[in-house]
Amino acid sequence: MYKKRFDNRKFDESRPIEATISVVENATGSAHFSLGNTKVIAAIEGPKTLHPRRIQDPERGLVRCTYDMMSFSVDDRKRPGPSRREIEIGLVMKNALQPFVLIKEFPKTVVDVYTEVYQADAGTRCASICAASLALADAGVPMRDLVASVSVGKVGDKIVLDLTKKEEDYEEGATDIPISMSGRTKEISHLQLDGCITLDEFKKALDVGEKGCQEIYELQKKVLKEKYGGV
């Protein structure tokens, strides 16, 4: 049985969350986002003309996401260059964010989203999606909602929010469920599951995940309001 979390948090409590925007001077928009010891920088370039022209869409634009973990972001030094996992997470990010970007307002163009994980302790894709959503808003890219993301899952016999790497590796078994949700409309745009869980536990996990996403959404709004006013 998992009676107490390794870092003494409540089972439905996130790690400390921090966010700032406009952190990369030469980017159109940017953000820094951290979930505990997982820390990410996101930067936006665009909208800009999409090349080659043969892949342009005259009716809408494109969101393109690049996810990268720096070589020193984990204890075991990561090999430089994109891995299959990083390419997959870039696609996950695109699918989580693009439904809320008003891509019809900038046809024939692309918005490039770059995320760099410089310190990792689980939840890197979720932190990257949160950072990217803030960076898109900072860049003035038209969106119908912000996107918040967090992992929820089962460690031992407990449903927990925002798993750490130590919890993911729990010897009695762990299930990880990254979830992304729009803050205002609460639409789920990304949901993955790695592990085993019952239907009742899954329903409870979704409720806990929604709570975590709303906490992040409120911080995202606060950060944007401090710089730009009403959001």
What CATH number is associated with residue 22? 3.30.230.70
How far is the C-alpha of 223 from the C-alpha of 209, rounded, in Å?
Answer: 21
In a domain, 69, yes or no: yes
**Which DSSP state fits 149?**
E
* pLDDT value at residue 74: 65
**Phi/psi at 116 (nearest 5 deg)?**
-125, 115
Range of the domain at 138: 17-222
* pLDDT value at residue 162: 97
- Sequence-distant (≥ 6) Cβ neighbours of residue 186 within 8 angstroms: 210, 213
* pLDDT value at residue 79: 65
Report residue 145 as tokens. Answer: 């909602």
Q: What is the DSSP string of 178-194?
A: EEEEETTT--EEEE--B
How far is the C-alpha of 50 from the C-alpha of 73, rounded, in Å?
Answer: 32
Which residues of the chain, if any, have pLDDT below 50?
Answer: none
In a domain, 230, yes or no: no
CA 169 to chain centre: 21
Per-residue pLDDT tens over the stretch 190-231 = 999 999 999 999 999 999 999 999 999 999 999 999 998 865
* pLDDT value at residue 186: 95
| Residue 112 · residue 44 · CB < 8 Å | yes
* pLDDT value at residue 72: 74
How far is the C-alpha of 171 from the C-alpha of 97, rounded, in Å?
Answer: 34
In a domain, 35, yes or no: yes
**Which DSSP state fits 209?**
H
Rg of the chain over all Cα atoms, to the nearest angstrom: 18
In a domain, 8, yes or no: no
* pLDDT value at residue 75: 60
In a domain, 5, yes or no: no
* pLDDT value at residue 80: 64
In a domain, 218, yes or no: yes
* pLDDT value at residue 71: 75
How far is the C-alpha of 138 from the C-alpha of 22, rounded, in Å?
Answer: 7
Report residue 19 as tokens. Answer: 């966010």
In a domain, 10, yes or no: no
* pLDDT value at residue 83: 79
In a domain, 228, yes or no: no
Say how many domains are in the chain. 1
